[in-house]
Structure 1
Amino acid sequence: MINHQSSLAADYQYCETVIKQYSKSFYYAFSTLPQEKANAVYAIYTFCRLADNSVDENKTVSKQLRALDQLMHELNCFAHGMEKDTPLWRALRDVFNRYDMDIQPFFDQLTGQRMDINFVSPRSLADLEAYSVYVAGSVGRMLLPIIATGSVRELERSAVELGIAMQLTNILRDVGEDFVDKGRIYLPLNEMTSFGYTERQLADGQITEEFIQLWEHIATRAEALYEGFIRKSEGFDEDSKFAVITSARVYRGILDSVRKNGYDCFRKKNFVSKLEMMKIAAQASF
């Protein structure tokens, strides 16, 4: 008979491998949590990565919909206590057993992914933030029962706003990749018009003064959300504050990496180096 604890440890190890592969910044920040909490974050991240990959790793709409429908079916089964016998779902069941989790943000994440399949460029920054609530704000809500055990309701809006800030950061980092690889323009069309930056210029990867002003307009909003989140961080569990603040500051650092690279989010890979992460972490104070 397989030992339950060793099997569960292997399930969490699988989830840790996923987050280490796909997001070094998240892993760096959340690996500082107590092991039980870190494991829970790894499991949640793995679910979100599976949802994201359902869309990004399938090249036709029909395949994307089939993959997302399959994940929705598995989530429905999980919600009714009949989860699939795989490392992810076994780990998530343990998370739900340990913490006062809410299943709704997991469904909201899939709603956000479906919005990507039926993609329509946002007309305004408000539209972009509404989309971000589903694909990223939902993640903040998933994590709250783990890192803010006594303040979930009070910190819900703050967690959603951090998710929005991170999604805006992703969009500003991946402007070229989103257009070339996915045929998507996440930059709000009204703002593009207002700043005088055209789709043709975007397709050509032109980094004009108009593009920089447009980029900074969105970055300023993201940074305001980061600042607001950090100011409200006192409600998080004492053993989680360092990880939470570090994750926000490291992700915010991606914006500075784009600036240092001359706003080239078309041809360069913009990221926060391990050394820079260490410097950011060292500056964290509560």
Structure 2
Amino acid sequence: MLQHQLKADFQYCENMIKKHSKSFYYAFSGLPAEKSYAVYAIYAFCRIADDSVDENHTTAAKKTALKQLRNELDSFSRQEEPDYPLWRALRHVFNTFEMDIQPFYDQLIGQEMDIYFSSPKTLQELEQYSYYVAGSVGLMLLPIIASEKQQELRQAAIDLGVAMQITNILRDIGEDYYEKNRIYLPVTEQLRFGYGEEKLVDGIIDDSFITLWEHLAIRAENLYNAFTEHLAKFDNDSRLPVAASANVYRGILDVIRENNYDCLSKRNFVAQERLEQIRA
């Protein structure tokens, strides 16, 4: 049974995921307590990494915040971490599961790519970026949800993370452009399908936009399918929550389709009723 301080530390992490990702929380709260706590701690680390970039408004501030987090991760790797809820919780996770610290560093590389952002030139570059910011999360989670077949399932975990990140990008095209001045759609694909910034700035959703969007969505769906082929190899107690998380994110693509591809002015999400059907 977790001691009082550790319970408070994991509560801090749980509150973070409940606030920022209700769908992710909904899926993984179905894990056994020890595993769900571990997922919450990993999410909290990734959330803080993401906020280091997105919540600071100057390049200097972003770099300073990310450098501080990297220094704390360095200290953690030496077992000299700060006496802070996130790190106390992660220490318990590392003491409990056979964790690999490299994906945590990879996550920070992904966040650094956003500091020096430029649109990916190709789909391959987009998927490389997606590995660092999301595929790395899949690798962080593997020791918890696939305790006996970590090595065998590495690619499946990466596939799921990349699929989820492409889904996020397709959901947030408008938000990323209008609020962050970022276009994650690969330049070669923009040219191929005839949809670029000159249309995005006016919020145009036409056949070229839909064709480009579907091209990337189909890639994400193929990655979801590749992941699903390996689902039976995950831990018995983790299989359903992992499948639910994949299905929730995949469901976002269908919601956008149902909303006539409006991901420029509308926030698309899976409704509570559908979430319950997915997890059932």
**How high is the TM-score relative to the length of structure 2?**
0.99
Q: Please name the residue that 1:274 is paired with.
A: 272
Structure 1 residue ranges, 4+ long, deviating more than 4 angstroms after superposition: none
Q: Please name the residue that 2:211 is paired with.
A: 213
Amino acid at match of 2:164: M
Amino acid at match of 1:86: Y
Work out which of the residue numbers 229, 232, 235 in structure 2 matches 1:231: 229
Per-residue CA deviation, residues 178-210 of structure 1 (Å, 9 max, x unaligned), is 011111110011101100112110111110110
Matched residues in 1 for 2:121 and 2:131: separation? 16
Q: Please name the residue that 2:36 is paired with.
A: 38
* Count of residues in correspondence between the two structures: 280
Matched residues in 2 for 1:269 and 1:183: separation? 17
Q: Secondary structure at the match of 2:163?
A: helix
2:167 equivalent to 1:169: yes
Superposition deviation, residue 126 in structure 1: 0.9
Alignment of structure 1 residues 146-161 onto 2, 5 Å:
146-161=144-159
Matched residues in 2 for 1:274 and 1:78: separation? 38
Q: Please name the residue that 1:256 is paired with.
A: 254
Identity %, equivalent residues = 59
Superposition deviation, residue 280 in structure 1: 1.5
Superposition deviation, residue 107 in structure 1: 0.3
Amino acid at match of 2:119: S
Matched residues in 2 for 1:200 and 1:167: separation? 24
Q: Please name the residue that 1:131 is paired with.
A: 129
Q: Secondary structure at the match of 1:12?
A: helix
Superposition deviation, residue 228 in structure 1: 1.1
Work out which of the residue numbers 19, 44, 67 in structure 2 matches 1:69: 67
Check 1:238–1:4 CA distance in 2 against 1; reply closer, same or farther (3 A cut).
Answer: closer
Q: Please name the residue that 2:94 is paired with.
A: 96
Superposition deviation, residue 81 in structure 1: 0.4
Amino acid at match of 2:117: F
**How high is the TM-score relative to the length of structure 1?**
0.97
Matched residues in 1 for 2:262 and 2:58: separation? 29
Matched residues in 2 for 1:157 and 1:87: separation? 31
Superposition deviation, residue 215 in structure 1: 0.1
Per-residue CA deviation, residues 217-247 of structure 1 (Å, 9 max, x unaligned), is 0000000101111111111000000000000
Q: Secondary structure at the match of 2:236?
A: coil
Superposition deviation, residue 149 in structure 1: 0.3
Work out which of the residue numbers 101, 104, 128 in structure 2 matches 1:106: 104
Work out which of the residue numbers 63, 84, 104 in structure 1 matches 2:82: 84
Gaps of 5+ in 1: none
Amino acid at match of 1:95: V
Pairwise CA RMSD of aligned residues?
1.0
Amino acid at match of 1:77: S
Superposition deviation, residue 4 in structure 1: 7.4
Matched residues in 1 for 2:58 and 2:168: separation? 23
Amino acid at match of 1:243: P
Amino acid at match of 2:238: S
Check 1:145–1:4 CA distance in 2 against 1; reply closer, same or farther (3 A cut).
Answer: closer
Matched residues in 2 for 1:6 and 1:209: separation? 57
2:185 equivalent to 1:184: no
